[in-house]
Amino acid sequence: MSTEYPFAIIGGTGNTQLTGFVPVRTEWVETPWGKPSAPVLMGDLHGVPVAFLPRHGLEHRFAPHLINYRANLWALDAIGVSRVLALAAVGGIRPEMVPGSLIIPDQLIDYTHGRSGTYCESDTDSIPHIDFTEPFDSAWRAQLLATAENIGLTVVGHGTYAVTQGPRLETAAEIRRLERDGCDMVGMTVMPEAALARELGMSYACCAMVGNWAAGKQDRPVLQDLDRNMEEAKSRLNRLLRAGLSRWIPGPT
């Protein structure tokens, strides 16, 4: 197995392309689970080898409930990726989760349904009772936070990500319920992605990019300033990537 690209970024809404990324190779990886959202793009980001996979496809065609998460993670594993940074646009629920900011969540609650969330498909497969107490890799999260601290970048260091089914946004009452459940932000994509990464033994952390206040949190239309807020979050993300990438690449396993 090639380990030329042990590190991957999964792009989300607003991140179908990575600023500064120079692809040198693209590969449609065959998987037993069907087609990934896009070919894996392998290339150079700030002098570091990075594999990139936009989870919604190159033209943002796949809604969150239609993404082939199993094929996506399988494809990354197949090319030798062992560590994943998942970018995900979210709505902010708690006051610190201000649009334009970055969050490294430490917990999630899965409200999705009907998504294929495991590689265990038959009674001949071993049953993957993965330990999911900490759904995001703690050591990997700590590295992301250490990088942010080193460069004086404000990043919210923890929080619970509510994963909703979408593609519609939530009602104000649903957001109030998520808040009562202890959720700090809401998005649609880290599940089953995080669980599948754990089944494959990959180290997975998320950088949530706050695009809007969640429904009912302000009087204006929810997505009114989405593009501007995502641009702000992206410029923060670029600072983080530039500062950290060379240190985040895992060594040979």
Tell me how far apart the alpha carbons of residues 11 and 57 are, in angstroms, rounded to a whole number: 9
Q: Are 240 and 144 in contact (CB under 8 A)?
A: yes
Least spacing, CB of residue 206 vs ligand HPA, in Å: 13
DSSP letter, residue 156: B
Give bridge partners of residue 8 from the DSSP assignment.
Answer: 51, 84
Q: Which is nearer to ligand HPA, 214 or 241 (CB)?
A: 214
Which residue's beta carbon is nearest to the bound ligand HPA?
Answer: 91
Least spacing, CB of residue 93 vs ligand HPA, in Å: 9
> Tokens for 7?
């590190």
Least spacing, CB of residue 164 vs ligand HPA, in Å: 5
Q: Which is nearer to ligand HPA, 183 or 245 (CB)?
A: 183
Q: Are 232 and 108 in contact (CB under 8 A)?
A: no
Q: Which is nearer to ligand HPA, 39 or 187 (CB)?
A: 187
CA of residue 219 relative to chain centroid, distance: 28
Binding site for ligand HPA (CB under 6 A): 89-91, 164, 169-170, 186-188, 211-212, 214, 222
Q: Which is nearer to ligand HPA, 91 or 135 (CB)?
A: 91
> Tokens for 40?
């894996």
Least spacing, CB of residue 211 vs ligand HPA, in Å: 5
